[in-house]
Structure formats: C-alpha cells, structure tokens
Structure 1
Amino acid sequence: MNVTVFGASGMIGHGVLRACLLDPAVTRVQVVARSPLGISHPKLQEVIHQDFTDLSPITGQLAGQDACFYCLGVSSAGRGEAEYTRITYDYTLAAARAVAASNPAVTFTYVSGEGTDSSEQGRVMWARVKGRTENALLAMPMNAYMFRPGYIHPRNGAVSRTPSYRVLYTLTSWLYPLLHRLSPGHTTTTEHIGRAMLAVTRPGVVEQRILYSRDINRLGGESGASATKSA
C-alpha cells in the first residue's frame, strides 16, 4: 500500500508517519511538506512544496496512492476566520482534490476534532470551519473518514508545534492514565490515531465516516498493536 501524509512534522502527523513506517503492509510513505523532516527511512519519500493552495505542480507525484492521511492543521488561537479558513478549509480541499484526481478509490482521512460543528452555523469559529471542511470532504467521490479526537496524548516523541499545547502536555502527561480511565470516550493517543488511520483503509473494518476517540481507540488500540509492537 502506498500512502501520502500531510502534516507529518506536527504532533499527530508524527504518530501517523511512525505507524506507516512500522506497518509491513505499507510499502511507500510519501510526505508532502514545506521543508525536509530530517529523517531517513527506506520507505520514506519527501515531496517539498510551498503553496498548499495549489498542488498542481506535484499532481504527478500524487498518483498511485492508496490512502492520504491529512494531519495538517493549526490552532485557531490568535487567528481570524479568514486566515483559519485558508489553512483549515482551502489547504485541505486542495489536497483532497489533487489526490482524488489521480486516485479515484483513495481513502482520505482528515483530523478534525471533538466539538466540530457539522451544521456550520454555530457560534464557535473553529468548529464551524472544521464542520464545513468535513462536509465538503464527505461530499467528494472518495472514501473519506473524519477523525474527531478529544484530548490527544503524545507518544513516542511526538511534540505539538503550538507552544501553549506543549506546556499543557508537559504538565499533564503524567495524568493521562487516570484521565483515560475516567474518560475513555474522550481521550486517545497519537499512536492510536496512527494505527486507526491505517485500519480504516482495510475493507469492511468500519462503516461510519465520522470517528470519535472511542472509535479511534477501538481501531488503533490493542487490536491494532501487532504492526507496532516491536517499536
């Protein structure tokens, strides 16, 4: 299986990339990024591209993909709706269209978030924009899955690129086992998200197109550990 990952330098993307590199069913991992990741692996191929609103220059390199794991995203803090929409909606739809154009049967997974507003009418800006993005992806002729995790615990060296989030994770990481025990339906890890994304590429594994933390943990938890147990 050939896969493309957007946002591999971020916290969630780190977990997804790691899961792909460790999974024997994945033969090639193509990362689309603005700058090199600084890592080397026999499966890894990097495509450096600057303008994420226009992927036409690299369309040929996106051909032959079985899955696209879209993990690129930013915090809405300090951003107006226009800027947040450009990064969250425009970038995502440009990627989906470019990948689907060459790969009609592609599986496309998008990391949204718990609280996303599918009505697109709510008062919370980020939730409206995420909802609009999800709806547009689900309307496209491809196998699209929306991941809506709640609290995400970084594993295996994953680090958030948002300074305030890094502080939060540093202060609360030791509490995660208790937090997960108290609220298993609203907590997950970067490792589980990576495994779950690979799981949805397999026919018949899941029917619903919107997946929450509980679904992610079921798909990427112990049942999906065989691919990464040696890590």
Structure 2
Amino acid sequence: MLPGPGEGSRLVLGGVALLLVLVSFLLHRLEHAEIPELPRMAENKEKLREDLRKENKSCFILGASGETGKELLKELVKNRIFSKVTIVGRRKLTFDDEAYKDVVQEVVDFDRLDEYSSAFQGHDVGFCCLGTTKAKSGEAGFIRVDHDYVLKSAQLAKAGGCTHFNLQSSKGADKSSSFLYLRVKGEVEAEIEHLDFDRYTIFRPAFLMCDRAENRLGERIFQTVLTPITYLFPTVLSVPVTTVVKAMVNNAALRNDKKVEILENKAIHALGRA
C-alpha cells in the first residue's frame, strides 16, 4: 500500500534528517582527523623570522594583484623578513602606503616571458599566486594562465637561481582528474616538481574565504552558505586567505629538509595559526 500524503512527508523529512546527520558525522570526522606530521614552529616564531632576515634573502611574488598575492605582499612588507621583495606582473601596481616604497616591480608580457628572464633572476624564494577562472577567461585562457604562465615562470625562476618555489594550487588537484580545473592544477604541480627545486612547497587550500574585489556571484553565494558550516567545522571546506598567507610566510621561515611538501587545507590552517 502506498503511503498517504502525511506519511510521505514524514518519510522525506526523515530522509533529509538522516542525510544531515551523516553529513555532520563525516564533517566531524574530517575536522578532527589527524594531519600528517608537520615541521613544528619553534616556541619563538619571531626567532625563526629573525634568522631568515639575517640571511638577507630576496623573494618574488607572481599574482600580487589577486586576493592571495595582495595579502601575501602586505604580510611580507609588514614583517620585512626578506631584504628585497619583487612583484612580477603584467602591469604596474600603485600603492598609497609608504611601506611599499621599496617593493620592486617587474612588468612583463606573460605571452613572451622568455624576453623577460631578467625579472626572474637573483631571487632566493618564489611565491606563485597566479591564477584565473574558466568563467572569466574561457577554457583556453584558464589553461594558458594556470598552466602555461605558471610553468614558464617556474622554469625561469629555477634558471635565475630560485631555490624555494611556493605554489598556490587547490584542494583536490589531481593530474588524472576528469574536472578541468583540478586536472590543470595537478598537471602543473607535477611538471614544476620535475624542475628539481631545492625546496618545493605546494599549498592546496579549500574554498578561499575573502572579501573579493572582483564580483563573482557564485562565489559570494557559496561563501554565504559556507559561513555557518565553517563556524562548526573551520578546517574542512574553507580557509581564510589571511590564514593561507600566514602559512606561506611561516613555512618560508621554517628549516625543512623535505624537498617536496604538499600542504593540504588542514595543514594550512595549522601553519597559519602557528
């Protein structure tokens, strides 16, 4: 016998409730899962940073006009752990704050990067926050920026003497993925690894929480939906851009003999809070 209208509604509500319980259980397990052992920050984080300052190293940032790159530049300028900070981009940026007066800017044509190899010379550490979206640039444009520009920049950085290359990738990056975004991210990760940097760090953040200057309706809606979930399970599905940036800076100051390190979202949270 078929269920009546009232009984059917109760079955639907029961199914929804069960689904919510299962999802909550899964998120709880992920939130409290152990993370792979990470290099521990020393008791005095500032000592590590001071040690890095004394080494008189220089760094460059790719994608300094984007949300992560912009925050990273701010953090590096504020802490002054590198003797020289260079931003490499397609246009010159303007800064009102006097603190940015010593930032060097190299303007390049990413479609002819070989002609701008000098922009990548003499840097000890590189931070790549370069990226776009398929919605903004189309499929070909996305591949050109997130794969071609990133890989070519890494090649020039290696040739120019860079020893530690930091790549902002994405949670779920996999060169075998059937999803274009994740496949391209995974492919460029693997190809840069073959360049054999002394140290290569891949950051795989989940959804980036930020007040994006660029209007992306889908992201704003998703961020609104994620906000209450993030309150309960802060390290599973998202991460603030400021946390990613702090993780990058803290990691750069660490003494780590590991040649290739992949920091997933939970590890990024841990390092960013250190």
Same fold (TM over 0.5): yes
Q: Which amino acid in structure 2 is aligned with residue 150 of structure 1? A: A
Percent sequence identity over aligned pairs: 24
Gapped regions of structure 2 (runs ≥ 5): 1-56
Correspondence list, 1:71-220, <5 A: 71-77=129-135, 80-105=138-163, 107-117=164-174, 120-142=175-197, 143-154=199-210, 159-161=212-214, 163-164=216-217, 167-168=220-221, 172=224, 176=227, 179-205=230-256, 207=258, 209-220=261-272
RMSD across aligned positions (CA):
2.5
* Cα displacement (A) at 1:160: 4.7
- Among 96, 99, 106, the alignment partner of 1:47 is 106
Hey, what does 1:226 align to over in structure 2?
none
Q: Which amino acid in structure 1 is aligned with residue 245 of structure 2? A: G
Q: Deviations over 1:135-157 (max 9, x none)?
A: 00111111221111002122xxx
Say how many residue pairs are matched. Answer: 213
Contact 2:204 2:263 in 1 (8 A): yes
Q: TM-score, normalised by structure 1?
A: 0.81
Q: Which has the higher contact order (CA 8 A, sep 6+)?
A: 1
Hey, what does 2:78 align to over in structure 1?
22
Distance change (3 Å), C-alpha of 1:153 and 1:77 = same
Of Structure 1 and Structure 2, which has the larger fraction of its residues in helix?
2
1:38 is aligned to 2:91:
no
Q: Deviations over 1:100-154 (max 9, x none)?
A: 101152x11111111211xx23221111111111100111111221111002122
Q: TM-score, normalised by structure 2?
A: 0.69
Contact 1:104 1:141 in 2 (8 A): no
Gapped regions of structure 1 (runs ≥ 5): 224-231
* Cα displacement (A) at 1:200: 2.6
* Cα displacement (A) at 1:42: 3.1
Measured in 2, the distance between the counterparts of 1:126 and 1:205 equals 30
Contact 2:86 2:105 in 1 (8 A): yes
